C-alpha cells in the first residue's frame, strides 16, 4: 500500500462519514475493530489520509463515492433531543426524520423543549462552518417569557452580560407584545452558547416558557410545518456560501414520522 499517511487528501474517518456510512467517531471505532481495509491492508489506526485513488472496503463492501454536500431545513417540534443517541432513551430528531433521508448531522442544536428551524447537513465541514461565529449569521428567535417585561431591562443585553462567570455576547432584544403575565420577545444573536437564551432571560427575571427559532442566517422557518423537512437547492446554498453554484437539488417538504 502506498504511504497515504503522508500524502494530501482527507482523514479516513472523514471519508467514511462523507460517504454517509457513519459518524467520524463511529468510523474510528470501526477501524479499531478491523472493519476497514485500504488498498488491501486492514487498518488499525484512523491516523491515515486517503485520496480518491485509494481502494476502501468496509465490512467487505467497496466504499461508495462521497455524497455531494447537501443542506436541509427541519422544523423541530418540542420534545426531541438533537442527538443521534440519548442515554435516557428520549426521542431524537434523527429518529424522527422521514424515511429515505441520508445520514445527517445538525448545524448547532436546539434543546429538548425548544422548537423551530434546525439546519441539517451530510457534511461535517459545512456544519462547523455555519456554526462558527465568524460566519456572522444572525439567528433569530421568538420567545415567550413569564413576567411583566420592562424594556429597559432588555437593553442590558445589547452589550452582553456575564452570568456565573460565563460571558454572553450582544443579544438584540425587543418586546413584541405583552399578554397578561406573559410576553413575547424577539431576539437575535450571532453566537449561541448552551441554553443561552434561557439563562439570560432567567437572569433578567423572565423565565422562558416557549422558544422558537425562526431563522438561521438567510434561511427562514416560514410556513414549514412542525416535523417537515425541506432541502435547500444546491444553487441557493452555493450562493449563500459565496461559492460556484453546484447542480441544483431541491425537494418538496416531507412529513416526518411521529417520534
Its pTM stands at 0.79
Whether the CA torsion 117, 123, 128, 129 is positive or negative: it is: negative
| Topology of domain 71-134+217-254, CATH | Alpha-Beta Plaits (3.30.70)
Catalytic residue among 111, 123, 164, 181: 111
Q: CATH number of 10-62: 3.90.1720.10, 3.40.50.2300, 3.30.300.30, 3.10.290.10?
A: 3.10.290.10
Burial 153-179 (b: 16+ CB within 10 A, else e): ebeebeeebeeeeeebeebebeeeeee
Question: How many degrees, rounded to 5, is the angle at CA 248 between CA 243 and CA 253?
Answer: 115
Q: For domain 138-216, which architecture applies?
A: 2-Layer Sandwich (3.30)
**Alpha-carbon gap, residue 243 to 240, rounded angstroms:** 8
What is the structure's pLDDT at 1? Answer: 44
**Alpha-carbon gap, residue 165 to 26, rounded angstroms:** 35
Domain ranges for the chain: 10-62, 71-134+217-254, 138-216
To the query of whether residue 111 is one of the catalytic residues in this protein, the response is yes
| Of 228, 231, 235, residue with least CA distance to 98 | 228
Given a cut of 50, the residues of the chain with pLDDT beneath it are 1-6, 245-251, 259
Same fold, 10-62 and 138-216: no
Amino acid at each position: 500500500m502506498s504511504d497515504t499517511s503522508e500524502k494530501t487528501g482527507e482523514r479516513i474517518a472523514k471519508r467514511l462519514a462523507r460517504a454517509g456510512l457513519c459518524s467520524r467517531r463511529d468510523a474510528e471505532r470501526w477501524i479499531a475493530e478491523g472493519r476497514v481495509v485500504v488498498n488491501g491492508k486492514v487498518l488499525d489506526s484512523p491516523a491515515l489520509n486517503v485520496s480518491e485513488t485509494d481502494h476502501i472496503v468496509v465490512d467487505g463492501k467497496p466504499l461508495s463515492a462521497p455524497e455531494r454536500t447537501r443542506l436541509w431545513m427541519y422544523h423541530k417540534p418540542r420534545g426531541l433531543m438533537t442527538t443521534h443517541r440519548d442515554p435516557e432513551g428520549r426521542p431524537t430528531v434523527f429518529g424522527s426524520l422521514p424515511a429515505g433521508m441520508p445520514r445527517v448531522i445538525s448545524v448547532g442544536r436546539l434543546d429538548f423543549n425548544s422548537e423551530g428551524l434546525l439546519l441539517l447537513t451530510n457534511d461535517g465541514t459545512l456544519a462547523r462552518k455555519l456554526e462558527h461565529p465568524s460566519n456572522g449569521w444572525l439567528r433569530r428567535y421568538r420567545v415567550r417569557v413569564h413576567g411583566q417585561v420592562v424594556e429597559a431591562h432588555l437593553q442590558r443585553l445589547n452589550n452582553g452580560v456575564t452570568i456565573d462567570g460565563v460571558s454572553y455576547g450582544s443579544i438584540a432584544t425587543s418586546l413584541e407584545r405583552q399578554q397578561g403575565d406573559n410576553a413575547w420577545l424577539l431576539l437575535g444573536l450571532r453566537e449561541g452558547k448552551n441554553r443561552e437564551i434561557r439563562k439570560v432571560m432567567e437572569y433578567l427575571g423572565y423565565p422562558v416558557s416557549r422558544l422558537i427559532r425562526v431563522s438561521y442566517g438567510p434561511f427562514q422557518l416560514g410556513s414549514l410545518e412542525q416535523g417537515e423537512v425541506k432541502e435547500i437547492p444546491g444553487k441557493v446554498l452555493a450562493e449563500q456560501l459565496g461559492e460556484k453554484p453546484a447542480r441544483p437539488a431541491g425537494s418538496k417538504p416531507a412529513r416526518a414520522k411521529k417520534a
